[in-house]
Each structure stands twice: as structure tokens, then as C-alpha cells.
Amino acid sequence: MTEDKIKILVVDDDPVTRHLLSRVLSRNNFEASVAVHGQEGLAVYEEKRPQIIILDIMMPVMDGFEFVARFKARFDIKETPIIVLSSLPNQQDVFRQEGINDYIVKPFKSAHLLRKIRQRLQQRTKKILVVDDEPDFVHSLSLRLSNSGYQVVTAFDGLSALETAKRERPDLMVLDIMMPKLDGFNVCRMLKFDNKYKDINVILLTARAGEETRRLGKQVGADACLTKPHDDTFLLKLMKELLWD
């Protein structure tokens, strides 16, 4: 299995800075997207859903201050860290009040920025979507995952699973196969065959062990297929491998 690249959005009106950052990020195995001002940055974020944003302050159309205000009104800033790059040396406190603690003054060293990026990625809480039509199972697994440091969201049928996945953009789904309204195979297929959501890791759970189930799971793009009742320790190990290795 190939490792998905971490997506980083660069919002800066200076073409030299955009080019430099894109090159540095690409060389360090990140996937870089760019925007020339805050308004375009919001649109690119909506489309790409990067894990980190690198943000300039002084830009036309929409500056960094307005970008942060609008971003916070629509998205969770705790899920997507913002690193501010600016030639203004005295704005740290303003952004700190907005929940942004990473402020780098231009000119900057690439090594410093990369260190900040890696620190933020290590601290980012992974979001898991647990989907099953058995409430007791969902509650039990959600509790175990929460106690292991994950952020957990839940759904109890296939249609709500699809809606929740598109809304919440989880890092990984634990998805039962046999469910009302829409089964797990179809939920997985609809996500994995859509470029917007194909990066979501999917672990299918089934009460029916067998090669046919695993073959169908592979066909719809599932990253793994486990048999119920599963071993929690093995599941957590598998999740860690999919999310971080």
C-alpha cells in the first residue's frame, strides 16, 4: 500500500514565496496546493481539505486576518493548524488570540518551517468514523477509541455514514458491511471512487468470514477487512499502521 501524502495549502500573493514553498514541500514528500489570496484559499481548502495551511497576512482581495475569521466561522481550526508567515514582526499576539500559535517572520529558514509542520502533524488528533447498526457495539468501540486518543464520530446506517463521512472528513472509517439503507460495500465504493474522499482509510467489519467477502472488499477499495468479533488490540494496531506508517 502506498502512503498518501500530507496535503498542505500555501496562501500567499507573492509568486516567489509560493514557488519556493511548493518546491520545499514537494521535496519533503508533501502535496502542495497554492492560492494567491484568502478568498481563493477558502475555495481551495473546501476542495482539497489539506491537513495544514501556511498563510500570509498582507494579501489583496482577502488578507490573512479576514481569512482566519471566515475560516473559523466555517471550519474547526483545531483540526487544521494554520502557520502564519509574515513580514510583520508584531502580530503574534493578534493571531494567538485567534488560536494560532505558529507565527514565522519572513525571511525564514525552510528547516524552521518544516520543523513547525512536523510538530503540528504529530499533535493533530485523528478523526475516526465508527459505523454499525448495533448501538452497543458503536458505543463500546467509540469508548475504546476515545480512550486511545482518537476523536470519534458515529453513524448507524449506510446513508448517514455516507453523509457523515462527506461532512466530517474522517481520517479513517470502521465500517460494518451488513447495514440498513445502504450496505458497507456500497458506502466504501462511493467514497473510494470519488477523488474528494478516496484518501479516507476504510476498515470493513463483517460477521461472514471468507475469501468472497475479502475479494468484494478489495474490489470496492477497502484498506482492510476484519471478521467480527474482532480483537480490539489488533484493530488499534491496524489503525495505527494505516494512519501513520
Which pLDDT score is estimated for 3?
47
Q: How confident is the model at residue 27 (pLDDT cuts 50, 70, 90)?
A: very high
Q: Where are the domains of the chain?
A: 6-123, 127-244
Q: Is the pLDDT of residue 52 over 90?
A: yes
Q: Is the pLDDT of residue 234 over 50?
A: yes
Question: What pLDDT, in 10s, does the model give residues 182-225?
Answer: 999 999 999 999 999 999 999 999 987 788 999 999 999 999 99
Q: Is the pLDDT of residue 243 over 70?
A: yes
Query: Do residues 36 and 71 touch, judged by C-beta distance below 8 A?
Result: no
CATH class entry, domain 6-123: alpha beta
Which pLDDT score is estimated for 22?
97
Mean pLDDT calculated for residue range 87-97: 81
With a pLDDT cut of 70, the percent of the chain lying above it is 98
Which pLDDT score is estimated for 1?
34
Q: Is the pLDDT of residue 2 over 70?
A: no
> Which CATH homologous superfamily contains domain 127-244?
Response regulator (3.40.50.2300)
